[in-house]
Amino acid sequence: MSESNSNLPHAVILTALPVEYEAVRAHLKDTREKVHEGTIYELGRFQSGDQSWEVAIAEIGMGNAGAASAAERAVAYFKPQLVLFVGVAGGLKDVQLGDVVAANKVYGLEYGKVEDTGFKTRPSVYNSTHALDQRARAVARRQDWLKRLPIPLPEPAPKALVGPIAAGEKVLASTSSETWNLIKQSYGDALAVEMEGHGFLAALHANQHVEALIIRGISDLIEGKREADAANSQVVAAQHASAFAFEVLAKLGESREFLSPQANADEANPQAQTTQSAGKFVFNIKGDVHQSTVGDHPQVTINYGNKPQKI
């Protein structure tokens, strides 16, 4: 990716709605626009302590299919360490307005078979990556993420949970609907419902070298959705989800293991260590080195551990 700071770790944050985008953007500095294949991103810097992140954000609209394609394009272009989907959701159980849910897995509601007796589910499930699942749990156990919320803090303070969410293709606004009954009968442990998470994680499943997590603020409890939206509950929920998301980034920024996997590999194998800069590899080698040329291709043989290694 051009016009980026290659010395910083990179993250991508996708949102569906304008209110979600603005809540995320409020945590960034030095933002600038970047257009790639028609998608408009903003690049900005997130600073926490001594660690900075370069973060690309985009508002992609609602729907699982759009989330999947947007995530795939962003991963291919920015080559980030991680991708987050941050936004609002409807609460299903164990949550109140303003609470935050980090998804450890997402159920796809639309998968199944229609028979004479009705709709039979054939569940499709994608998981968040293990490292971010664990980091979300650690952040949820503490109250530090609340410090990133606008002052004054709400009373009572919102809580954060890690658990399953459900993703469909319809806005759920009634507990008398068939979709509500389907969720309760087949996905009873889901804490929230939204419209992008399943497609998002499907795309990241095909890019397993990239960490992925979905973070949702609860903006309504299904019934009374119109009244909740009128009371700016989406603004509050988006702010809470964004605060949690950037606390996750901050904590990851403190983790040498997460930011420098090559350094950990080097420590495990001190005989041969590599660093990369400006497209060139520099080798720090312990052992006997023999250089030769085969045709037009130089070869280097390193003898260590009684086993010659060619590079």
Architecture of domain 10-259 in this structure: 3-Layer(aba) Sandwich (3.40)
Query: Are 78 and 9 a contacting pair, CB within 8 Å?
Result: no
pLDDT (tens digit per residue) in 212-245: 999 999 999 998 888 998 889 999 999 999 999 9
What pLDDT is recorded for position 267? 46
- What does DSSP assign to residue 223? B
The model's pTM is 0.82
Give residue 280's pLDDT.
Answer: 47
pLDDT tens string 258-269: 765 444 444 444
d(CA 113, CA 291): 64
Please compute the mean of the pLDDT values over residues 186-206 and round it to a whole number. 96
Q: Where in the chain is the domain with CATH 3.40.50.1580?
A: 10-259
pLDDT 10s digits, 57-92: 999 999 999 999 999 999 999 999 999 999 999 999
Residue 255 banded pLDDT, cuts 50, 70, 90: confident
* Alpha helix segments (H runs only) across the chain: 18-25, 64-78, 130-141, 178-186, 197-205, 225-230, 233-253, 256-259, 261-268
Q: For the segment 97-115, what is each residue's pLDDT rounded down to a tens digit?
A: 999 999 999 999 988 888 8
**Residue 302, pLDDT above cutoff 80:** no
Please tell me the distance from the alpha carbon of residue 283 to that of residue 270, in angstroms, as a whole number.
Answer: 12
